[in-house]
Amino acid sequence: MLFLLSMYFGLGGFFSFFVAPTLFKVLEREQASAVVERVFPYYFWIGLAVVAVSLLIALTSKMPKFLNMLLMVNLMVLIALVFYVSPKVHDLKVAGSPEFLKMHLVSVIMSTVSLFLTFGSIVYLIVKRNVGS
């Protein structure tokens, strides 16, 4: 579980804070946007799968309720991103709606919250492991 969560955290951090900003610096806005728009849904699906598997492991391993809660909230954030927010952002962008920027900001905030919850889960697992040793 620690490996899975660390992989997702590294992927999310690298893509969100390095790759996406670099694309927007190097490419024209439309080109960068097209690349990011193609990649982010896969990233959200990977996060959804990793957090869902981690939650199943945590629940079947009788992990502490605090960790289960972090993973459950993270899963709910990612479900909302995958099934509601991300498609809504796409539809608003295609329609040229002024609401696009607001919904895009919601997406960015939710993605960041997911990364923070993932980081919290990683720290909790590491501290639990070191205290238990």
Tens-digit pLDDT profile for residues 36-95: 989 988 999 999 999 999 999 999 998 999 999 999 999 999 999 999 999 999 999 999
* Residue 132 pLDDT > 70: no
Q: Report yes or no: 1 and 57 within 8 Å, Cβ to Cβ.
A: yes
Domain ranges for the chain, please list them: 2-127
pLDDT at position 62 is: 85
Q: What is the pTM of this model?
A: 0.90
The pLDDT tens digits of the residues spanning 111-130 come to: 999 999 999 999 999 998 87
Q: Which long-range CB contacts under 8 A does 114-119 form with residues at least 24 apart?
A: 114/12, 114/47, 114/51, 114/74, 114/77, 114/78, 114/81, 115/9, 115/12, 115/13, 115/16, 117/70, 117/71, 117/73, 117/74, 117/77, 118/5, 118/8, 118/9, 118/12, 118/47, 118/51, 118/74, 119/9
